[in-house]
Structures are given as structure tokens and as C-alpha cells.
Amino acid sequence: MSELSSLGYVVFSVSDLARWEDFAAGILGLMPGRRSPGMLGLRMDELAQRILLVEGHDDDIAAAGWQFDTRDDLNAYIEKLAARGIAVREGDRELAESRQAECLYVCDDPNGFTHEFFFGPTHAPISTPFHSPLLKGPGFETGRLGMGHILPVARNYAQSLEFYRHVLGLRVSDTIRDSHTVPGATVDATFFHTRTGRHHSLATMAMPFPRRLHHVLVQVQDMDDVGMAYDRCVKAGLRIHAGLGHHPNDRMFSFYVETPSGFGLEYGYGGIVIDDNAWEVKNYSQLSDWGHRPQPASH
């Protein structure tokens, strides 16, 4: 069945590669990978690249890479998009090489970045296994679930929901309509999953925000790694968008820190995996059960 398997990678356009590398390796526990002029790959597992940093001025998301398990699945998906009149273009060898993928296709998102549909992620050499000196536990929660999730802000909420659900073919996990957390505003968010079941690989909401991307998630396999990462952020004087807390829908224990590009990064543990045969879509009335309050920066 030609469905998205997982969010395999993300690409960010960043203005300060050196600062990003320090943040990724020294705060988050990611592993620097492949380098080329103006680009740096970041590793989270046995794959050669899960996050690609490309030198640029946007300081925002540039692309989301959606993985397929087989070339046939990818081809069938692209044919389905083309039959619906979606403008899909094939990525050239140079683009595929930069993404560390065997082949890929590209289409535009209504919110100003691109989606890349790919097959054949590159594995790192067995001689250079993933290792992070910062992590206490076994590492990041990736594998079949992908690299994490993204939350792009919707320019037009109805149009975005239509695109993510009926064009990309993502499955609705649940919704949150919260009129209490943000003073004077109602937060309306929808969460989507792929067939492998990470609670959400993409979510979107309509809200004022200076970037296309509100935040990206990386998830660890040991709860202590969340607390230790939080302490590193505080010690480094980084801006905490939201302190330690817990979400009611995906049951993620996490905090949010500002990246060197200005958008947020959620660092979490414990998100659930959806079994579509037993899943019930629900609407929640609050973004967090507890916590996730803004914290003043410490210097």
C-alpha cells in the first residue's frame, strides 16, 4: 500500500552552522556526520543522516523527507499524486546525494517549504556506529518511527488540513482546541501519523509565529536523558520556550528549547505508538496536562 512510512529526515536552512553544531552535539547529544561545503549532516542512529543543516538565511525548515519501504511503494505514491494534479518533480542525483537517499521526488507545501518522498536511506559504515557521550540511555527513538516530528504553522488552517490529510495521505491522530493556555487566543491543532504509528510525525496549528516551523521533536529512550538535557540547556543560558511538562494526547514528557535558528525543539520521552485497529480519534481541551510553562533564560 503506497503510504508514507515515516518522517525519515528534515532539512533546515541555518545562518550559523558552527553554532548549530555546538547546540546539536553539545546540548542535544546528536552526532555530527557527513560534511560538505555549506552543509552538515547530523546523526541520531545507524543512518548516515537524520537532520541536514544547509547554510542559508531562512533559519527555518527547508524540507521534510518522507520515507518509503520499497521503490514500488514510492513509485505508486508519486503516480497517485500526479493523477490528482499535484506538481511533483524528480530530484536529481545531486539532491539525492545531499539527502543521503537512493532516489527522491519533491512537491511544495502550502506553508512555504518542500516535501521530499524518498527510498533507500544511506547507512553509516559499521566502523562508525552512532555514539553520543551525553546520553545515559540507549539513544534516540527512531527506527521504524522515523526521526521525530515537525509542527509547521499553518498560513491557512483549512487548506493545510486538506493538504496533509488528502494530498499527503497522513492519518489524523487527534486534535486539541485549547482556549486557556494562550491568553486571548484559542489554539486549534491537528496531529497526524503515518502507517508506522508514531503518535504524530506532523502536526499543524494556526497561530502567530515568525517562522514556518514552530518546533521539531527529538525523542530519547531514557527519561533521565530529558532531565539531563534540560539541565544542559539551563546551564548554557538557552531560552526555554516551555519547561518540563506532559502532553495529554501523545503522553510525551518533554521540554521545549529555542534552537540557534529561533524555532523550537521539543526534547521528549515516552510518546505512544498508534495501533490504527484500536485507535479512537479524540479532541482534547488543553495542550498540556501539567508543566510546559515558559522559563526565563539564565546567564
Q: 143-291, superfamily in CATH?
A: 2,3-Dihydroxybiphenyl 1,2-Dioxygenase, domain 1 (3.10.180.10)
Show me where the domains of the chain are located. Answer: 6-121, 143-291
Q: 214, 264 in Cβ contact below 8 A?
A: yes
Q: Note the pLDDT of residue 295.
A: 83
pLDDT in tens, 124-178: 999 999 999 999 999 999 999 999 999 999 999 999 999 999 999 999 999 999 8
Which 3-state string (H, E, C) describes 135-197?
CCCCCECCHHHCCCEEEEECCCHHHHHHHHHHHCCCEEEEEEEECCCCCCCCEEEEEEECCCC
pLDDT confidence of residue 2: 72
Please provide residue 145's backbone torsions phi and psi, each rounded to the nearest 5 degrees. Answer: -85, -10
pLDDT (mean) for 278-285? 96
Q: pTM score, two decimals? A: 0.97
pLDDT digits (tens, 9 = 90+) for 213-241: 999 999 999 999 999 999 999 999 999 99
Domain 6-121: homologous superfamily in CATH: 2,3-Dihydroxybiphenyl 1,2-Dioxygenase, domain 1 (3.10.180.10)
- Tens-place pLDDT, residues 91-128: 999 999 999 999 999 999 999 999 999 999 999 999 99
Rounded Cα distance between 282 and 151, Å, is 19
User: What's the grid cell of residue 279?
Assistant: 485507535
pLDDT at 298: 58
The pLDDT value given to residue 1: 47
Q: What is the mean pLDDT of the chain?
A: 96
Q: What percent of the chain stands above pLDDT 70?
A: 98
- Is the Cβ–Cβ distance between 216 and 266 less than 8 Å? yes
Are domains 6-121 and 143-291 of this chain identical in fold?
yes
Question: Tens digit of pLDDT for each residue in 166-184?
Answer: 999 999 999 999 887 767 7
- Lowest pLDDT segment from 9-23, 45-59, 283-297: 283-297
